[in-house]
Amino acid sequence: MRVSLKWLREYVDFDLTPEELAHRLTMAGLEVGSIERVGGDWDNVLVGHIERLGPHPNADRLKLATVNTGSEELEVICGAPNVEGGQNIVLARVGATLTNPQTGSRETLKSARIRGVVSEGMICSERELGLGDDHEGILVLPGDAVPGMPLEDYLGDVILDVEVTANRPDWLSMLGVAWEVGALTGNPVRVPSLEYAEDGDSITTKDLVDLRAPEFAPRYTSALITGATVGPAPGWMQMRLKAAGVRPISNVVDITNYVMLEIGQPLHAFDRDRIAGGKLIVRRATPDEPLETLDGRQHVLSTEDLVIADENGPVGLGGIMGGENSEVSDSTTDIILESASFGFASTRRTVQRRRIEVGGKRGTEASQRFERNLPITLPPIGLRRAAKMLVELCGGTAAKGIADDWPDRQEPAVVTLTSERMTQVMGSDPGREVSERTLRSLGFEVTATDRADGEYTIDATVPYWRTDIGIADDLIEEVARIVGYDAIPVTLLPTTGEPDLPEPLTQMKDDVRDVLVQLGHRETISYPLVPMDLLQTTIPGDAPQDPLRVWNRMSPDQEYLRTTLRGSLLRTLANNERGISRESYRLFEIGQAYLPHGPRHQPEERTYVCGVMAGMRANRSWIGGSDTASDELDFFDAKGLVETLLETLGVRARYEAADDRILAHGRSAHILPETGGRPFGTIGEVHPDTLAALDIRAPRVVLYEVDLGAALQNRREVERTWQSVSRYPGVLRELSLLVDEGAPAGAVGDIIRDFPSVVRSALVDVYQGPQVPDGKKSLAFSLVWQSPTRTLTDTEVDVAETQLLDKLQREAGATLRSQA
């Protein structure tokens, strides 16, 4: 909303600079987005009067105007079609800086000789002055402009562009802002007069209106003005409308717009002669009822739409836009003025359903206001104000009385505030006098009582223009914001003990981040909304096939909630490969996968860590990095990472070969609870087809994902207990075993690890080749035998080793590899 300070001064005085005023308003909740100075750069621009207008001696299209500047007469050449003798105009003298209407740039006016005649200045259009877009003709000033007066004194203004919060429709009016300024400065507000001569015949409500849908229009007021003359509105009104950003049309329409800007109540003027039956019917539309609105659009309405109709059908969409068929025209004389209360919800729904737009913004000036829930007390105020102007500015005769259909009449609300509540909420109380004065200055009617206990009570009647005041705390905010939040003291919350620990999953996510980052991995965060093709390329075979869809997606690229993070990570990898490719990538993300759970439940949000690794294990360097295929990051890099991660988290797991649609079979594994059960994660090299589908250049990409919620379930429950360190020496042995080449080494390693008296073991070599029989592979383990109670003899170790070999033979089919 654009607030002209010149206009604002009609209602309230203030002795503040525009910057000070903007600051005070902003602090009180009415944010000023920008301050615009109109006319600050109008040097050498003044009001002139065209004394005489004659032809240019050497040019048919140009005219020669003699302009009176109050102190002298200047000869000025003008080519505008609308220039006439006797007009008050804007004269720019040589040296003035104007906007070039063609280029938009600012240029200094020089004296010019046009076809042999010197022009001593220029008569300006709006565009040249930076006042508007109009460059069709010159700007003609009203008759009260005094020749010689600097234009800045006459038309100069400061416009505050204010950002109105959803709770304050009253701030969409000059008067609402004036009340605010009055409260901030302590100055009284001058309320515009609603008195006018009611010289016409008496009317009653039923003469003008038939309100059949009070559920959509709870109050409908109207007035009748006869014998009005439609023409241009007075200059001062046009100037104010322009300052507010509204284009003047005709006096009748301009008056409705002016009152909307002044009081905040939207109004509509109907040409009575175009209302069949002379009476407005306010009703729901019938099914498929047609209506052409003023913007030329054809609507097919439903019973959820409210129409203003006559005997023949709809003449307007209630609270939103008038119909083409009842519009006021130049020949209109009798006007039915509508000032009504339309429900915010129904207005909003009709605007959405009918896709009403003006200038790219949703809704109309009127509907935007109704959607904010205008007070039901406002219609007669706006009505009377507009009727007064129609009488005084359009020569109309107002009927005696107004129509006011208000079936569910309400009394103004009274809200009670006590000093106890003030202190309870704010921590302090400014005192009865300040509270009372502040509320009064905002237009509340106030009854204040000092009670015997030293406290006070204030009963405040809410002013008719406010809809946001319903409870004591609302009054508290009014007092606090006008006094200023800065004046309220500062205290600290009482200290408590240590805060509670977060949920284990929350904690675990942070732990995972820390471990992975320490191990050289980079955290990414991507959109959880993904396109269907990405999901199809990356969901493992057993994932749900129907991801959750966004009904009003922004773009197809953000249509579905991901059911896996795999696509996010792989896409991030692909995107980063497109720039200067790196030698290696180690990326991860922690986030949710969203699994549908039927229409009556929230989806399950499962937290995963997912990561990808690709490229060389070590970067190329003068020391020598990796440059052969065997130095590429592969399955075992990811597995080692996951092993380290899970061990750090205290999660016990084992690994099994996996068959996963998007991973290379034979090079992927499930992560399972140590005790068996459903897998809670996957590690694997991404299938070449998947890489190709995602345009990933790296030939080998390893991916891992762990369901952190499930991992949490497999966290070792018992506290880590300290085991005493044996004082006796350990015996280091190596075991070379032969197993079938397809047998998992993990099972062999587990048997050795868990065997009594084996305190450390490691798989140090896996070998297939000339010295190993076909179909077999050799596994070499290094292990340490140790007893907590005594030194083991070689014989004791030999015996134990034989027992271990027996067990390995029985359970894993492993035999001792004969020494070659």
Partner 1 sequence: MSTLTDELTDVESSALAELERISDRDALEEWRVTWQGRRQGRLPKLLEQLPTLPIEDRREAGQLANRVRTALENAYEERRAVLEHASVSQRLSAEAIDVTLPGRRVPAGGLHPTTQTLREIIDAFKPMGFTVVEGPEVEWDYYNFEALNIPADHPARDQWDTLWLDIEDDDGKRPLLLRTHTSPMQVRIMEAQEPPIRVLVPGRVFRHEATDASHESVFFQVEGLAIDRGITFADLKGTLYAFARRMFGPDRRVRFRCDFFPFVEPGVDMAIDCFACKGNGCRVCSQSGWLEIMGAGMVHPKILQRVGYDPDEYTGFAFGMGPERIAMLRHGIDDIRHFYANDLNFLEQF
65-124 residues near partner 1, rule: CB under 8 A: none
User: The tokens of 199 are what?
Assistant: 């010289």
Name which of residues 419 to 438 contact partner 1 (CB under 8 A): 423-428
Using the rule CB under 8 A, give the single segment among 255-263, 436-444, 513-521, 781-789 that binds partner 1.
Answer: 513-521
Q: Fill in the DSSP letter of residue 273.
A: G
User: The tokens of 341 are what?
Assistant: 């209360």
Which residue number, 502 or 666, has a Cβ lying nearer to partner 1? 502
Rg (CA), the chain: 42
Q: Cβ of residue 74: shortest distance to partner 1, in angstroms?
A: 40
Using the rule CB under 8 A, give the single segment among 252-260, 271-279, 343-351, 753-761 that binds partner 1.
Answer: 343-351
Q: Cβ of residue 360: shortest distance to partner 1, in angstroms?
A: 13
Collapsed DSSP state (helix, strand, coil) of residue 42: coil
Cβ within 8 Å of residue 506, ≥6 positions away: none
Exactly one of 109, 267, 529, 708 binds partner 1 (CB under 8 A); that residue is 529
Which residue number, 247 or 597, has a Cβ lying nearer to partner 1? 597
Exactly one of 204, 229, 449, 619 binds partner 1 (CB under 8 A); that residue is 619
CA distance 537 to 356: 41
Establish if 413 lies at the interface with partner 1 (CB under 8 A). no
Which residue number, 185 or 592, has a Cβ lying nearer to partner 1? 592
Exactly one of 42, 456, 594, 781 binds partner 1 (CB under 8 A); that residue is 594
Exactly one of 101, 214, 528, 650 binds partner 1 (CB under 8 A); that residue is 528
Which residue number, 191 or 550, has a Cβ lying nearer to partner 1? 550
Q: Cβ of residue 169: shortest distance to partner 1, in angstroms?
A: 8
Establish if 168 lies at the interface with partner 1 (CB under 8 A). yes
CA distance 366 to 172: 11
Exactly one of 411, 454, 622, 820 binds partner 1 (CB under 8 A); that residue is 622
Using the rule CB under 8 A, give the single segment among 97-105, 182-190, 196-204, 367-375 that binds partner 1.
Answer: 367-375
Cβ within 8 Å of residue 619, ≥6 positions away: 583, 584, 625
Contact between 566 and 528 under an 8 Å Cβ cutoff? The reply is no
Establish if 349 lies at the interface with partner 1 (CB under 8 A). yes
Which residue number, 362 or 776, has a Cβ lying nearer to partner 1? 362
Q: Cβ of residue 107: shortest distance to partner 1, in angstroms?
A: 27
Could you tell me which residues are beta bridge partners of residue 671?
A: 655, 681
Establish if 675 lies at the interface with partner 1 (CB under 8 A). no
Q: Cβ of residue 581: shortest distance to partner 1, in angstroms?
A: 11
Name which of residues 445 to 484 contact partner 1 (CB under 8 A): 471, 473-474, 476-477, 480-481
CA distance 399 to 196: 11
CA distance 759 to 749: 13
The residue to which tokens 């471990």 are assigned:
515
Establish if 519 lies at the interface with partner 1 (CB under 8 A). yes
Which residue number, 289 or 474, has a Cβ lying nearer to partner 1? 474
Which among 563, 617, 614, 616 has a CA at the least distance from the CA of 591?
Answer: 563
CA distance 47 to 559: 60
Establish if 643 lies at the interface with partner 1 (CB under 8 A). no
CA distance 479 to 484: 8
Q: Cβ of residue 805: shortest distance to partner 1, in angstroms?
A: 40
From first CA to last CA, the distance across the chain in angstroms is: 94
Q: Cβ of residue 304: shortest distance to partner 1, in angstroms?
A: 12
Which residue number, 315 or 613, has a Cβ lying nearer to partner 1? 613
Contact between 168 and 61 under an 8 Å Cβ cutoff? The reply is no
Exactly one of 2, 6, 27, 657 binds partner 1 (CB under 8 A); that residue is 27
Contact between 339 and 380 under an 8 Å Cβ cutoff? The reply is yes
Which residue number, 532 or 766, has a Cβ lying nearer to partner 1? 532
Q: Cβ of residue 688: shortest distance to partner 1, in angstroms?
A: 24
Pairing label, strands 31-38, 157-163: antiparallel
Which residue number, 484 or 677, has a Cβ lying nearer to partner 1? 484
| Tally of CB atoms within 10 A around 72 | 9
Using the rule CB under 8 A, give the single segment among 114-122, 408-416, 503-511, 654-662 that binds partner 1.
Answer: 503-511
CA distance 431 to 422: 9
Q: Fill in the DSSP letter of residue 200.
A: S
- Cα 384 to chain centroid distance, Å, stands at 38
Q: Cβ of residue 788: shortest distance to partner 1, in angstroms?
A: 37
| Residue 612 parent element (H or E) | strand 604-615
Exactly one of 118, 197, 488, 532 binds partner 1 (CB under 8 A); that residue is 488
Q: Cβ of residue 116: shortest distance to partner 1, in angstroms?
A: 50
CA distance 154 to 6: 10
Which residue number, 428 or 791, has a Cβ lying nearer to partner 1? 428
Max Cα-Cα span within the chain = 132
Cβ within 8 Å of residue 347, ≥6 positions away: 306, 318, 319, 320, 367, 370, 371
Exactly one of 10, 14, 18, 26 binds partner 1 (CB under 8 A); that residue is 26
CA distance 622 to 336: 90
**Total of residues contacting partner 1 (CB under 8 A):** 94
Which residue number, 443 or 730, has a Cβ lying nearer to partner 1? 443
Which residue number, 418 or 782, has a Cβ lying nearer to partner 1? 418
Using the rule CB under 8 A, give the single segment among 365-373, 442-450, 726-734, 748-756 that binds partner 1.
Answer: 365-373
User: The tokens of 619 are what?
Assistant: 């970067």
CA distance 715 to 511: 13
Exactly one of 287, 489, 676, 770 binds partner 1 (CB under 8 A); that residue is 489
CA distance 527 to 646: 26
Establish if 359 lies at the interface with partner 1 (CB under 8 A). no
Name which of residues 546 to 585 contact partner 1 (CB under 8 A): 548-554, 558, 561, 572, 575-576, 579, 582, 584-585
CA distance 403 to 207: 8
- Concatenating the DSSP letter of every residue in 496-509 gives -SSPPPPPHHHHHH
Name which of residues 373 to 402 contact partner 1 (CB under 8 A): 373
Establish if 520 lies at the interface with partner 1 (CB under 8 A). yes
Q: Cβ of residue 549: shortest distance to partner 1, in angstroms?
A: 4
User: The tokens of 449 are what?
Assistant: 């009582």
CA distance 636 to 613: 11
Give the total residue count for the chain. Answer: 820
Pairing label, strands 298-300, 456-461: unpaired
Which residue number, 30 or 109, has a Cβ lying nearer to partner 1? 30
Using the rule CB under 8 A, give the single segment among 247-255, 279-287, 616-624, 761-769 that binds partner 1.
Answer: 616-624
Using the rule CB under 8 A, give the single segment among 2-10, 75-83, 506-514, 729-737 that binds partner 1.
Answer: 506-514
| Tally of CB atoms within 10 A around 83 | 18
User: The tokens of 760 are what?
Assistant: 């450390």
CA distance 10 to 707: 67
Exactly one of 6, 212, 513, 606 binds partner 1 (CB under 8 A); that residue is 513
Establish if 286 lies at the interface with partner 1 (CB under 8 A). no
Exactly one of 5, 12, 21, 28 binds partner 1 (CB under 8 A); that residue is 28
Q: Cβ of residue 500: shortest distance to partner 1, in angstroms?
A: 4
| Tally of CB atoms within 10 A around 771 | 10
Name which of residues 530 to 549 contact partner 1 (CB under 8 A): 548-549
CA distance 434 to 425: 17
